[in-house]
């Protein structure tokens, strides 16, 4: 058995222990915390973050970053909502295209993928650092959202659509199913197919990966495209849940996603980490949010605590890799 | 000056050192000799404070010591030049040399002038002719190695450890280094010297210590040792040297290079109209001094500099367009790069994943990577090349330098290439493994591969090549068939200009 694997398990084990301890503390302090209803509630709340954080994990594994996911989420949510509600109408051409739910959802995901693809293209072909490229996209996508929606929410859809955000399936909220599906697929991608291996290799040593014949640009573009698509899925869930696409939806969601990735032990310098870690990270953040709300802690303090947890997680992770 | 008593160091799954006893004298050069993975670097890391946890005792200048870190060891007077380069690429030479030891005034303002001047003197002693303000990233490996040496000299330590300082530098630079070592010796400093180039040891070392599988096998005076006996002590048996086979006279041409040019701004080495061909089954050695453009030549063929290069590459009579390494690999050309740490390996990944990286499709089963297949593939190569590792799941950075080099080769052999470009393939490899490597090259050539090998070691070039290409300043100055090649005419061609 390899020791590196054990080591990895170790840091995941730590996250699990941290999660467990958080739960114990909240269960002791609040009798509303440790109930099935609340558990499902937490899971539903974190499912959007998980969608985004999974894409973010893939990107961070290649030693990149994506700051644009929150805005992309808003734009895709708005596009789906707009198409569903108004379709595409071009009066001058006397043209009207209506959209089914599936069509509108697919269109939203296509828009997300395109924006991600664009990120990837700028980063690989024009050598713009990911931080800068996606920071620009953060602003661009938010602006496009405002343009598309004129700054107003697009609201009230039929129940078949809102089912995606608020419905239940086999005892679990629908968003939880969607997040689970994404997580399982991502685990297979990272562990079991070539793309995943290439992602780790690029993050570990881009030069060596290139000289091994890996098409670096293609892999990176693919990863940013996937992240864009997953942000779109998040946007659709949020829109369906609120029965409304808010133009300022998803603001600072990228930070929660990055936090989940980092707490989950994925190294920001790339090449080391896991999807499972990210799921644990998202759970820790979710439980923390939920518990602090149940305990009536002021939202200001909540932010302070969340930041502290991120710091602590990274410090523990650093100490681990030093002992290696 | 330094005595160790029963030093033992265990890593998970490996006992790197077991009851090592040795004595290092002032005013002497002590050679530590052993195969790849024998524990030489580990021992040196313990002496220099890199590994504070070990069993046993170190006595330095009659005091028992237990260094908590490298800074501690430096303060006590021990400096080390590590086997792997440890420079910061985007700092200048001066900044690297003075890293952590910056000169400045009482207010913390850096004295750049003094540092620059001191760096310049150090580089001058080492005959390195570059401006100390050059970024380390712009230096070739050999020059970087000289900077590492300069860094150690700055410390003015009493014990200086050199872990394979010559694996990346040319013979002229080795001479310079030896002069420096002799001067240190005359100043009554102790020097520990590790190298797989045995003839160097006979030239410079006074004493030797043989390590095998982490144990001290023998210590003694270098004078009373012979080359063959030393190898026997290291390996545990005598080795059979490779016999060169003649290249098949009617073999067909496999690789043709025409008019390769490389223009690089701000860099000295460029390539001017390089043309040559290699037959299947032939080993062509490429010799030249540092900066002759040998590495650039291989890199250009392999598609590393598509934007700056021109010329044509023909494999098997088919002209191929190479815009990136992946194109070259598809055409059957592979490259073993000069710097394994930077270009050859993903050090944080397991051994098996590095080996399978260029041929992942082979370990797939119904579109999914199959762990069993991957392990089997890795094990096959580990056994074939005699790679010393507790298992295929070991993280690559935990392997000894020579064994890492073998992994880079392993990952290419699986692709069964037509053309093998080797850039310093035996760098850091022990005598026995080197001999094995030569035999392997011959075996591969025997199967019809075309092999181009760049090496700075003249003996190596003469031993294995069927034909020798000599380069100087980006041009081919001579192509000499093995039968006519001598040290003299090869060296002459290497220093000839025009
Ligand atoms: N950090 C580590 N973790 C686990 N094993 C290690 C580590 N460092 C070294 N080893 C193992 O200890 C043994 C000795 O390694 P060492 O680097 O000292 O060899 P060496 O004699 O310097 O070899 P070379 O000539 O190839 O440089 C090897 O089997 C190596 O795999
Ligand atoms: Mg070593």
Q: Does A97 or A261 have the greater pLDDT score? A: A261
For residue A312, how far is its CA from the centre of ligand 1 (angstroms)? 33
Query: Which chain A residues contact residue B325 at CB under 8 A?
Result: 210-213
Residues 405-434 of B with CB under 8 A from A: 411
- Tell me the HSE value of A161 on the side-chain side, using a 13 A CA sphere: 28
Model confidence over A267-278: pLDDT tens digits? 888 999 999 999
Q: CB distance B364–A201 less than 8 Å?
A: no
Mutate to test the interface with A, among B50, B326, B411 (most CBs of A within 10 A): B326
> Which residue's CA is the closest to the ligand 1 atom numbered 1?
B398
- Most confidently predicted of A245-259, B287-301, B436-450: A245-259
Residue B252 class from Cβ within 10 Å (0-12 exposed, 13-18 middle, 19+ buried)?
A: exposed
Separation in Å, CA A194 to CA A24, B209, B480? 40, 46, 44
Helix pair angle (A174-192, A159-166), 10° resolution: 60
Contact B490, B287 (CB under 8 A): yes
Average pLDDT along chain B: 89
Q: Which residue of B has its CA nearest to A211?
A: B325
* Coarse DSSP helix, strand, coil percentages of chain B, rounded to the nearest 5 percent: 35, 25, 35
- In 3D space, the residue among B470, B29, B479, B441 whose CA is nearest the CA of residue B245 turns out to be B441
Contact B170, B456 (CB under 8 A): yes
Does B494 score more than 70 pLDDT?
A: yes
- Most confidently predicted of A225-234, B75-84, B466-475: A225-234
For residue B28, how far is its CA from the centre of ligand 1 (angstroms)? 26
**Residue B497: its pLDDT value, please?**
59
Q: CB distance A208–B343 less than 8 Å?
A: yes
Q: Which residue of B has its CA nearest to A198?
A: B357
Longest CA–CA span in chain A (Å) reads 69
Q: Does A7 or B205 have the greater pLDDT score? A: B205
Measure the CA–CA gap between A240 and A84, rounded to whole angstroms: 11
Number of domains in chain A: 1
Q: CB distance A205–B346 less than 8 Å?
A: yes
pLDDT band at B385 (very low <50, low <70, confident <90, very high): confident
Does any domain span residue A285?
A: yes
Question: B201-239 in b/e burial notation, b at 16+ Cβ within 10 A?
Answer: bbebbbbbbbbbbbbbeeeeebeebeeeebbebbbeeeb
> Which residue's CA is the closest to the ligand 1 atom numbered 17?
B400
Asked if the C-beta of A125 comes within 8 angstroms of chain B's C-beta atoms, the answer is no
Measure the CA–CA gap between B387 and B399, rounded to whole angstroms: 9
Q: Helices H, strands E: what count in chain B?
A: 16, 22
Ligand 1 atom at minimum distance from B399 CA: 31
**Residue A324: its pLDDT value, please?**
45
Does any domain span residue A324?
A: no
Question: Percent of chain A at pLDDT above 70?
Answer: 94
Does B290 score more than 70 pLDDT?
A: yes
pLDDT band at A7 (very low <50, low <70, confident <90, very high): very low
Q: Catalogue all structural domains in chain B, each as residue range(s) with its CATH number.
A: 2-235 (3.40.50.300), 253-494 (3.40.50.300)
**Residue B267: its pLDDT value, please?**
61
Contact B479, B468 (CB under 8 A): yes
Q: CB distance A214–B12 less than 8 Å?
A: no
Does any domain span residue A182?
A: yes
Measure the CA–CA gap between A145 and A138, rounded to whole angstroms: 11
pLDDT band at B496 (very low <50, low <70, confident <90, very high): confident
Contact A217, A125 (CB under 8 A): yes
Residue B262's beta-bridge partner residues?
Answer: B271, B309
Contact A157, A81 (CB under 8 A): yes
Q: Helices H, strands E: what count in chain A?
A: 13, 6
Q: Distance, in angstroms, between A63 CA and closest chain B CA? A: 14
What number of other Cβ atoms are within 10 A of residue B75's Cβ? 13
Site to substitute for ligand 1 among B20, B31, B42, most atoms within 8 A of C-beta: B42
Residue B110's beta-bridge partner residues?
Answer: B104
Q: CB distance A272–B348 less than 8 Å?
A: yes
Average pLDDT along chain A: 91
Model confidence over A193-223: pLDDT tens digits? 999 999 999 999 999 999 999 999 999 999 9
Measure the CA–CA gap between B29 and B185, rounded to whole angstroms: 7
Q: Distance, in angstroms, between A270 CA and closest chain B CA? A: 10
Does any domain span residue A4?
A: no
How would you classify residue B240: left for phi > 0, otherwise alpha for psi between -120 and 50, otherwise beta?
beta
Does any domain span residue A8?
A: no
Asked if the C-beta of A272 comes within 8 angstroms of chain B's C-beta atoms, the answer is yes
The bridge status of strand B190-194 relative to strand B159-163 is parallel
For residue B401, how far is its CA from the centre of ligand 2 (angstroms)? 5
Does B244 score more than 80 pLDDT?
A: no
Q: Distance, in angstroms, between B369 CA and closest chain A CA? A: 5
Measure the CA–CA gap between B463 and B461, rounded to whole angstroms: 5
Q: Distance, in angstroms, between A188 CA and closest chain B CA? A: 8
**Residue A1: its pLDDT value, please?**
30
User: Nearest CB to B346: which of A192, A193, A208?
Assistant: A208
Residue B397 class from Cβ within 10 Å (0-12 exposed, 13-18 middle, 19+ buried)?
A: middle
Q: CB distance B324–A200 less than 8 Å?
A: no
Does any domain span residue A259?
A: yes
Does A94 score more than 90 pLDDT?
A: no
Q: Which residues have C-beta atoms less than 6 Å from ligand 1?
A: B 11, 14, 16, 34, 36-42, 83, 388-389, 398-403, 428, 430
Question: A183 is in which domain, residue-wise?
Answer: 19-319
Measure the CA–CA gap between B77 and B84, rounded to whole angstroms: 21
Q: CB distance A271–B348 less than 8 Å?
A: yes
Asked if the C-beta of A4 comes within 8 angstroms of chain B's C-beta atoms, the answer is yes
pLDDT band at A43 (very low <50, low <70, confident <90, very high): very high
- In 3D space, the residue among A262, A306, A311 whose CA is nearest the CA of residue A285 turns out to be A306
**Residue A240: its pLDDT value, please?**
96
Residue B20 class from Cβ within 10 Å (0-12 exposed, 13-18 middle, 19+ buried)?
A: buried
Q: Which residues contact A5 (CB under 8 A, 6 or more apart)?
A: B393
Model confidence over B367-377: pLDDT tens digits? 899 999 999 99
């Amino acid at each position: 058995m390899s020791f590196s694997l054990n080591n990895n398990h170790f840091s995941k084990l730590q996250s699990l222990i941290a999660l467990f301890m958080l739960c114990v503390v909240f269960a002791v302090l609040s009798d509303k915390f440790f109930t099935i209803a609340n558990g499902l509630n937490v899971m539903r709340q974190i499912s959007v973050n998980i969608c985004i954080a999974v894409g973010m994990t893939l990107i961070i594994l290649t030693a990149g970053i994506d700051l644009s996911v929150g805005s992309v989420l808003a734009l895709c949510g708005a596009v789906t909502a707009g198409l569903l509600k108004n379709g595409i109408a071009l009066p001058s051409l006397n043209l009207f295209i209506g959209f089914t739910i599936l069509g509108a959802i697919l269109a939203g995901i296509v828009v997300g993928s395109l924006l991600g693809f664009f990120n990837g293209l700028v980063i690989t072909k024009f050598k713009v650092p990911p931080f800068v490229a996606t920071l620009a996209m953060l602003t661009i996508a938010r602006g496009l959202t405002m343009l598309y929606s004129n700054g107003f929410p697009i609201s009230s859809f039929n129940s078949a659509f809102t089912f995606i955000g608020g419905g239940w399936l086999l005892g679990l909220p629908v968003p939880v199913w969607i997040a689970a599906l994404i997580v399982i697929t991502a685990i297979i991608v990272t562990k079991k197919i070539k793309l995943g291996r290439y992602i780790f290799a690029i993050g570990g040593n881009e030069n060596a990966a290139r000289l091994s014949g890996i098409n670096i640009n293609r892999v990176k573009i693919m990863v940013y495209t996937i992240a864009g698509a997953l942000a779109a899925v998040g946007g659709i869930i949020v829109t369906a849940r609120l029965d409304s696409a808010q133009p300022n939806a998803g603001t600072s969601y990228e930070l929660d996603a990055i936090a989940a990735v980092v707490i989950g032990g994925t190294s920001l310098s790339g090449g080391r980490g896991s999807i499972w870690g990210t799921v644990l990270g998202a759970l820790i953040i979710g439980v923390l949010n939920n518990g602090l709300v149940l305990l009536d802690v002021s939202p200001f303090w909540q932010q302070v605590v969340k930041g502290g947890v991120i710091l602590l997680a990274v410090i523990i992770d650093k100490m681990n890799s030093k002992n290696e | 000056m330094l005595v160790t008593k029963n030093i033992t160091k265990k890593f998970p799954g490996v006992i790197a050192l077991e009851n090592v006893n040795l004595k290092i004298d002032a005013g002497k050069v002590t050679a530590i000799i052993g195969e790849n993975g024998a524990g030489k670097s580990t021992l040196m890391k313990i002496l220099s404070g890199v590994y504070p946890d070990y069993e046993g005792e170190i006595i330095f200048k009659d005091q028992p010591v237990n260094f908590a870190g490298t800074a501690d060891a430096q303060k006590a007077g021990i400096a080390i030049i590590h086997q792997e380069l440890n420079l910061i690429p985007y700092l200048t030479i001066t900044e690297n040399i003075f890293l952590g030891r910056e000169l400045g005034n009482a207010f913390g303002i850096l004295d750049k002038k003094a540092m620059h001047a001191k760096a310049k003197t150090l580089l001058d002693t080492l005959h390195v002719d570059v401006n100390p303000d050059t970024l380390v990233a712009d230096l070739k490996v050999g020059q970087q190695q000289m900077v590492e040496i300069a860094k150690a000299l700055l410390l003015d330590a009493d014990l200086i450890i050199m872990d394979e300082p010559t694996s990346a530098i040319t013979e002229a630079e080795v001479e310079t280094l030896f002069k420096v070592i002799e001067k240190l010796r005359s100043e009554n400093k102790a020097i520990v010297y590790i190298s797989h180039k045995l003839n160097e040891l006979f030239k410079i070392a006074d004493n030797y210590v043989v390590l095998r599988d982490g144990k001290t096998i023998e210590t003694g005076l270098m004078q009373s040792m012979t080359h063959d006996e030393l190898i026997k002590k290291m390996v545990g048996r005598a080795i059979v040297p490779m016999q060169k086979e003649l290249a098949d006279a009617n073999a067909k041409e496999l690789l043709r290079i025409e008019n390769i040019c490389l223009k690089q701004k701000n860099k000295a080495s460029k390539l001017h109209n390089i043309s040559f061909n290699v037959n299947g089954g032939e080993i062509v050695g490429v010799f030249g001094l540092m900066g002759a453009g040998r590495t650039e030549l291989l890199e250009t063929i392999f598609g590393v500099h598509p934007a700056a290069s021109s010329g044509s590459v023909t494999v098997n009579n088919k002209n191929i367009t190479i815009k990136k390494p992946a194109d070259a690999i598809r055409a059957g050309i592979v490259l073993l790069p000069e710097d394994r740490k930077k270009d050859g390996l993903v050090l944080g990944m397991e051994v098996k994943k590095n080996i399978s990286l260029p041929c992942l499709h082979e370990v797939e089963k119904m579109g999914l990577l199959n762990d069993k297949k991957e392990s089997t593939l890795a094990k096959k190569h580990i056994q074939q090349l005699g790679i010393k590792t507790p298992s295929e799941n070991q993280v690559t950075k935990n392997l000894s330098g020579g064994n890492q080099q073998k992994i880079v080769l392993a990952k290419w052999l699986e692709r069964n290439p037509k053309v093998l470009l080797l850039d310093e393939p035996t760098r850091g490899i022990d005598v026995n493994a080197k001999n094995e490597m030569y035999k392997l090259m011959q075996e591969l050539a025997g199967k019809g591969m075309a092999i181009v090998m760049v090496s700075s070691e003249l003996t190596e070039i003469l031993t294995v090549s069927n034909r020798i290409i000599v380069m100087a300043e980006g041009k081919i100055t001579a192509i000499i068939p093995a039968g006519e090649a001598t040290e003299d005419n090869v060296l002459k061609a290497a220093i000839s200009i025009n």
